[in-house]
Amino acid sequence: MERFTKLTSTAIPLPLENIDTDQIIPARFLKAIDKKGFGENLFKDWRFHSDGTANDQFILNNPNYTGSILIAGRNFGCGSSREHAAWALKGYGFKVIISSFFADIFKENALNNGILPLVVIDENLHNLFKAVEENITTKFQIDLEQQLLKQVDSELAIKFEVDAYKKTCLLNGQDDVDFLASIKNEIEQFEQNRIAV
Amino acid sequence: MRKTLFDKIWDQHVVKNLPGGRQVIYIDHHFIHEVTSPQAFAELKERNLPVFRKEQITATADHNVPTKNQHLPIEEPMSRKQVTTLTENCNEHNITLYGLGHEKQGIVHVIGPELGITQPGMTIVCGDSHTSTHGAFGNISFGIGTSQVAQVFASQCLILQKPKKMRININGKINPMVTSKDIILFLLSKLGVGGGTGFFIEYAGEAIESLGMEARMTICNMSIEMGAKGGLIAPNETTFNYLKGKPNAPSDSKWEDAVEKWKQLYSDEDALFDQEYYFNADEIPVMITYGTNPGMAFEVNEKIPSAADSKALNYMGLKPNEQLIGKKIQHVFIGSCTNARLEDLKIVANFIKGKQKAPGVQALIVPGSQNVANQIKQEGLIPIFEDAGFELREAGCSACLGMNEDKIPAGEYCVSTSNRNFEGRQGPGSRTFLASPLTAAAAAIYGEIVDVRNI
């Protein structure tokens, strides 16, 4: 897995709540058998009209907004378990998603793909939206080791929580398969003990 | 300490505690399908790892299969490739596959229970969020991503943070014409689509206990729509009676022992939950959704709230204070892992018997499995569907997620027995009203949304 340590970037705000994974990547694009190319279809039906032309109203089509941080409303990634949503966000270039809470499966999928789902309280989420609204070139600095999100050239600094195990995984670029394969003997022992009961 | 049902099962599956609070949890059964497994098999290959416990995996093709002419090769090249890849992977790793054409093929959450693979006390996962369905049998079942599918392939384990525990108690007697779909839509309208996030839900109370297994599955199925990790119901005689004699259920000599063990699966009297809700069944009416998530639901005869989400109403072509009763619809979809089992289709058949669907309405019935398709044949329901002008298809997920060609055209309305009314879920621009099989059947006959209590 790709490592995640630090990132400095501008951010793209998407202040909608309950963004489900069907919006992130519609089901008709789930037919591939590899992880490539999903970025092209990220938010497909919000980015494009049914005739294929770009929807100018949608923020990802506004060239003034760039960056590898997505700031979204609460309950981001709800609905389907499709990891294709994480692959699409990653493929498009997002490395950090900030929200006030994430749907459970999406959060795990993001972490398993080196994307940091960064949880802030509602008030801070509001402040981040406001900062970008006031100046779209606002940059944010994220330091996973320190668990710190800072607005560059500003006082705003937010300490964030992250699962200790997943933090280590992200910092070292190691994943659960590596770890689970390393404790195979213990898993076999568990199976033996269960049979004995 | 007194334990909840969830604790009892979870604690029996802890292989190892990790620093920081995560635990290695053993998975008893792993269901896979064509859409979320190919990248996981590729992952194994890249790392040169074998499948650790192939006998604890069951595969089927359901999400991306046509519901017509399943005996012929799949026409759409990418879908064909995805389904073929599943077959190749299962052959290579010697995994049991109930593929297209197999008598046991069907929606993964329909076949697990009907084959008796799904049993009380287990841990069950699948790369599909509606894996929560299986919890109806009193087990811990939940959906996972593809990376986790690879983890289970490699080790039969997952590294998890234990969720918090919620109990939803529904006491009293269920109102006439109210089905388990109405119950879960009611709960969604109360708790919202994020109300269960971080929790595993136990459904309890006499109203829940009175439900048959298929109705229980409908409730557990939509636990994920509240954001919950999963939902479960303590097993009782109804559960045991359902499982008895199923192909994969414990055989004669082991049956009594299994039931004895399963009878221990309940929440202790003073077990502590992190959150608890109480409802009375008589406050639960016939429900329908009006918006673009399953929490935007209300009593079928209500007016759309004036404070309803304007983006959702815009998408749906609806206005505040508008009533859905009398709203013309063009499609009815009876199917999905939520409501495509025999009981659901019997409800539909009973209602439409001797009636005709309204002109201009396409009414699609997609059985949850080949087995369900055979059951409706044996029960003599097929002529009822045909005489009423309903179109009966072959088993699969179909228009629930619009991955195959079964899509609702842009701008048109569909009353659907499925689980999600998200924008574009049933096809780009499709507009979905989620409801029970009874309300869906009535909509097909009248060509509009009706209150089944007034018929």
- The DSSP line for B350-418 is HHHTT--PPTT-EEEE--SBHHHHHHHHHTT-HHHHHHTTPEE--SS-GGGTT-SS--PPTT-EEEESS
Domain boundaries, chain B: 5-161, 164-234+246-283, 306-454
Distance (Å, whole) CA B95 – CA B77? 24
Tell me whether B50 touches chain A (CB under 8 Å).
no
Determine what percent of chain B is predicted with pLDDT higher than 70: 100
Distance (Å, whole) CA A34 – CA B68? 27
Q: Please check whether residue B430 is in contact with residue B347, taking contact to mean a CB–CB distance below 8 angstroms.
A: no
How much is the pLDDT for A197? 63
Paired residues of B204 in beta bridges: B169
Could you tell me which of B6, B58, B63, B8 has the C-alpha nearest to residue B28? Answer: B58
Q: For B132-143, how does the pLDDT look when each residue is reduced to its tens digit (9 = 90+)?
A: 999 999 999 999
Helix (H), strand (E) at residue A45? helix A44-47
Q: Please check whether residue B340 is in contact with residue B372, taking contact to mean a CB–CB distance below 8 angstroms.
A: yes
Inspect the interface and report whether the beta carbons of A104 and B197 lie closer than 8 Å.
Answer: yes
Question: What is the assigned CATH class of domain B5-161?
Answer: alpha beta
- CB contacts under 8 A, A 115-154 vs B, are none
Please list, residue by residue across B55-81, b when 16 or more beta carbons sit within 10 angstroms of its beta carbon and e when fewer do. Answer: ebbbbbbbbbbbbeebeeebeeeebbb
Determine what percent of chain A is predicted with pLDDT higher than 90: 96
Q: DSSP letter at B429?
A: T
Distance (Å, whole) CA B32 – CA B36? 7
Interface size, chain A vs chain B, as Cβ–Cβ contacts under 8 Å: 175
Helix axes B213-221, B342-352, angle to 10 degrees: 100
Tell me whether B230 touches chain A (CB under 8 Å).
no
Taking the CA of residue B377 and the nearest CA in chain A, the distance in Å comes to 31
Could you tell me which of B217, B188, B211 has the C-alpha nearest to residue B420? Answer: B188
Q: For B8-61, how does the pLDDT look when each residue is reduced to its tens digit (9 = 90+)?
A: 999 999 999 999 899 999 999 999 999 999 999 999 999 999 999 999 999 999
Paired residues of B59 in beta bridges: B32, B97
Q: Please check whether residue A41 is in contact with residue A22, taking contact to mean a CB–CB distance below 8 angstroms.
A: no
How much is the pLDDT for B43? 96
Tell me whether B193 touches chain A (CB under 8 Å).
yes
Question: In the predicted model, what is the mean pLDDT of residues B144-168?
Answer: 98
State which CATH number among 1.10.540.10, 3.40.1060.10, 3.40.50.300, 1.10.3720.10 fits the domain covering B164-234+246-283. 3.40.1060.10
Domains B5-161 and B306-454 share a fold: yes
Chain mean position to CA B358: 28
Tell me whether B35 touches chain A (CB under 8 Å).
yes
Distance (Å, whole) CA B9 – CA A137? 51
Distance (Å, whole) CA B318 – CA B110? 34
Which CATH superfamily groups domain B306-454?
A: Aconitase, domain 3 (3.30.499.10)
Distance (Å, whole) CA B410 – CA B424? 8
- CB contacts under 8 A, A 33-52 vs B, are 33-35, 45, 50
Q: Please check whether residue B136 is in contact with residue B235, taking contact to mean a CB–CB distance below 8 angstroms.
A: no
Q: For B243-269, how does the pLDDT look when each residue is reduced to its tens digit (9 = 90+)?
A: 999 999 999 889 999 999 999 999 999
Q: DSSP letter at B175?
A: P
Q: Please check whether residue B151 is in contact with residue B25, taking contact to mean a CB–CB distance below 8 angstroms.
A: no
Q: pLDDT confidence of B451, banded at 50, 70, 90?
A: very high
User: Where do we find the tokens 């109405």?
Assistant: B182
Question: Over chain B, what is the mean pLDDT?
Answer: 97
Q: Name residues whose C-beta falls within 8 Å of residue B31's C-beta, 6 or more positions apart in sequence.
A: B57, B58, B59, B60, B108, B109, B112, B117, B124, B125, B126, B128, B131
Question: Over chain A, what is the mean pLDDT?
Answer: 96
3-class SS of residue B98: strand
Q: E-assigned strands of A38-156?
A: 69-72, 96-99, 116-119, 139-143, 148-151
Q: How do strand A6-14 and strand A139-143 relate by DSSP bridges?
A: antiparallel
Burial class (CB in 10 A: 0-12, 13-18, 19+), A110: buried
Q: Edge to edge, what strands does the sheet with B164-171 contain?
A: B230-232, B199-204, B164-171, B275-280
Would the pLDDT of B314 be above 80?
yes
Q: For B340-369, how does the pLDDT look when each residue is reduced to its tens digit (9 = 90+)?
A: 999 999 999 999 999 999 999 999 999 999
Taking the CA of residue A134 and the nearest CA in chain B, the distance in Å comes to 24
Counting as low any pLDDT under 50, the low residues of chain A are: none
Tell me whether A159 touches chain B (CB under 8 Å).
no
Tell me whether A99 touches chain B (CB under 8 Å).
no
H helices present in B12-145, as ranges = 38-47, 77-93, 108-115
- CB contacts under 8 A, B 307-326 vs A, are 311
Q: pLDDT confidence of B1, banded at 50, 70, 90?
A: confident
Taking the CA of residue A40 and the nearest CA in chain B, the distance in Å comes to 17
How much is the pLDDT for A2? 87
Would the pLDDT of B316 be above 70?
yes
Q: Please check whether residue B325 is in contact with residue B449, taking contact to mean a CB–CB distance below 8 angstroms.
A: yes
Q: Which chain A positions have a beta carbon within 8 Å of B431's beta carbon? A: none
Burial class (CB in 10 A: 0-12, 13-18, 19+), B412: middle
Which residue has better confidence, B252 or B275? B275
Q: Which residue in A35, A104, A112 is closest to B198 by CB distance?
A: A104
Q: How do strand B23-26 and strand B157-160 relate by DSSP bridges?
A: antiparallel
Q: For B95-112, how does the pLDDT look when each residue is reduced to its tens digit (9 = 90+)?
A: 999 999 999 999 999 999
- How far is the CA of A174 from the CAs of A83, A168, B154, B256, in angstroms? 18, 8, 15, 45
Q: Please check whether residue B150 is in contact with residue B136, taking contact to mean a CB–CB distance below 8 angstroms.
A: no
Q: Which chain A positions have a beta carbon within 8 Å of B196's beta carbon? A: none
Q: For B391-450, how does the pLDDT look when each residue is reduced to its tens digit (9 = 90+)?
A: 999 999 999 999 999 999 999 999 999 999 999 999 999 999 999 999 999 999 999 999
- CB contacts under 8 A, B 400-429 vs A, are 401-403, 410, 420, 422-425, 428-429
